[in-house]
């Protein structure tokens, strides 16, 4: 039985969740943690780690997570008293990704604005801390020539849309379903001086992508099950000679995704792997 934080401790509680196998279990556990009040989830290898303030009902946390994934294992422990309003910043650094650097505002001083993407960490996914974000940014320069039109599906913080603009895209459509992420995305676009080229839209990618088509490049950092559903829409949205960069895929899912891509007439241009994550650049055969 987990420790009852209510009235029993004034310390923050660390919760580490090891999901069952596969991306669906991982996504279900992450969604469950946000459902019970997590403000952010850190991916530590195969585990998901978050912190809850004193007073959290840990029995509820366990119940909701195990209902989402009955094979998940959960570890909880008190953490030292820390000023989290400042300490969390130490977990976020700058990342040099080819010609671009992704950095939080407090580390951006002295960097060249033309090659720097400044992202204020918020509720929206995408700070450069995750391997899936970095994979797309590493693959993008080889596909992106100046003057291209790009669609970023599941844009989150708009980090990838901003990267495309900084690398020379003439127009970028950043499409995000989560309304809570839209203000973060719009602020990041303004902060990076690319609002004249990056346009943020709230809505379902499958519905909005055909409305902004044709495009030269589609970026999609989304879980593999959604990527598979979107492949026909992505293919139809591309101009002749266009390409797509997919991420959010576990390395263990690589062979499955390659088989799906082959069936639907896609060819692999370049691959990127970091930690347990796989990203791929593709084009129609």
For 13-86, CATH gives 3.30.70.100
How does pLDDT run across 62-117, given as a tens digit for each residue? Answer: 999 999 999 999 999 887 665 544 555 666 778 888 888 888 888 888 899 998 99
The pLDDT value given to residue 1: 37
Section 230-256 average pLDDT:
95
- In the chain, where the domains are located: 13-86, 92-284
User: What is the dihedral sign for C-alpha 178, 84, 275, 133?
Assistant: positive
The packing angle between helices 224-237 and 23-35, to 10°, is 100
Whole-number Å distance between alpha carbons of 38 and 35: 7
Helix, strand counts (H, E) of the chain: 9, 14
Q: Is the pLDDT of residue 189 over 60?
A: yes
- Using omega within 30 degrees of 0 as the cis cutoff, is the peptide bond preceding 111 cis? no
C-alpha Rg value of the chain to the nearest Å? 19
Residue 159 backbone dihedrals phi, psi, to 5 degrees: -60, -40
Mean pLDDT, rounded, for 255-260: 94
Kindly state the average pLDDT of the residues 119-143.
Answer: 79
Q: What is the reported pTM?
A: 0.72
Q: Does domain 92-284 have CATH number 3.40.50.150?
A: yes
The pLDDT tens digits for 163-179 are 999 999 999 999 999 88
Name the band, by pLDDT with cuts 50, 70 and 90, for residue 43.
confident
> Which of these, 30, 28, 50, 55, lies nearest to 39 by C-alpha position?
50
pLDDT for 45: 79
């Amino acid at each position: 039985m987990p420790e009852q934080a209510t009235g029993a401790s004034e310390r923050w509680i660390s919760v580490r969740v090891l999901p069952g196998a596969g991306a669906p279990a991982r996504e279900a556990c992450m969604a469950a943690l946000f459902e019970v009040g997590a403000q952010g989830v850190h991916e530590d290898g195969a585990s998901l780690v978050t912190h809850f303030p004193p007073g959290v009902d840990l029995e509820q946390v366990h119940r909701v997570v195990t209902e989402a994934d009955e094979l998940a294992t959960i570890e909880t422990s008190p953490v030292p008293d820390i000023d989290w309003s400042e300490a969390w910043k130490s977990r976020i650094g700058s990342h040099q990704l080819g010609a671009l650097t992704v950095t939080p505002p407090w580390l951006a001083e002295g960097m060249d604005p033309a090659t720097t993407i400044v992202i204020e960490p918020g509720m929206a996914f995408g700070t450069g801390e995750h391997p899936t974000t970095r994979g797309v940014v590493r693959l993008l320069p080889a596909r992106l020539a100046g003057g291209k039109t790009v669609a970023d599906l599941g844009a989150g913080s708009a980090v990838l849309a901003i990267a495309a603009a900084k690398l020379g895209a003439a127009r970028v459509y950043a499409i995000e379903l989560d309304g809570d992420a839209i203000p973060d995305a719009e602020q990041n676009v303004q902060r990076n001086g690319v609002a004249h080229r990056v346009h943020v839209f709230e809505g379902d990618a499958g519905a909005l992508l055909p409305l902004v088509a044709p495009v030269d490049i589609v970026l999609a950092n989304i879980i593999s099950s959604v990527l598979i559903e979107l492949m026909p829409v992505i293919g139809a949205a591309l101009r002749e000679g266009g390409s797509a960069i997919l991420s959010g895929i576990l390395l263990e899912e690589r062979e499955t995704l390659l088989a799906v891509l082959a069936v639907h007439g896609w060819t692999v241009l370049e691959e990127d792997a970091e930690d347990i994550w796989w990203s791929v650049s593709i084009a129609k055969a």
